[in-house]
Amino acid sequence: MAWHAAQAAYLSCQGDCRTTFNVERGVCAGNAGKAPTCVAACGVTRESCVTTVDNQLSAAIAACDATPDQEVAQCKVLYPPGSSALAQWIENAQAQAFLCRDGARDQAQPQFQACEQSFVSCVQAYPPSLPSGTFLDLS
């Protein structure tokens, strides 16, 4: 269905926007005095992590959506158009697809959180950057 593709594109765009926002916010805020170039490396790692989880989630959602489409096609062969039995089958298939998608999102949430925690740990591992104009005495 066309709306499945639109939904997948929306979720992908939403993930890209979230990643861009977080990286830019980190650079603008200076990440509590961290050097932006160091923090950018953490952002790239997080983006890779989030992309992997997004791809897995998209595949799981696509599988959830494929099943009811197949069931509805089979039901249309078994039951006449407009019959209450057909309507019930379609409703049941849609409900199962919703529960499947909801379960896929629930499973992905801890993985997204792990990506974020890994990013935070990475940023915290870098020492603060030196203020502008500060020189080191290396003697």
Cβ count within 10 A of residue 92? 14
Residue 44 banded pLDDT, cuts 50, 70, 90: confident
At 33 the pLDDT is: 56
Calculate mean pLDDT across residues 22-44: 64
- Cβ burial, residue 62 (10 Å; 0-12/13-18/19+): middle
Q: How far apart are CA 94 and CA 134, in angstroms?
A: 63
Burial of 17 (0-12, 13-18, 19+ CB in 10 A): exposed
Identify the three-state secondary structure at position 9. helix
Residue 11 has pLDDT above 80, yes or no: no
pTM above 0.75, yes or no: no
CA gap 22, 28 in Å, rounded? 10
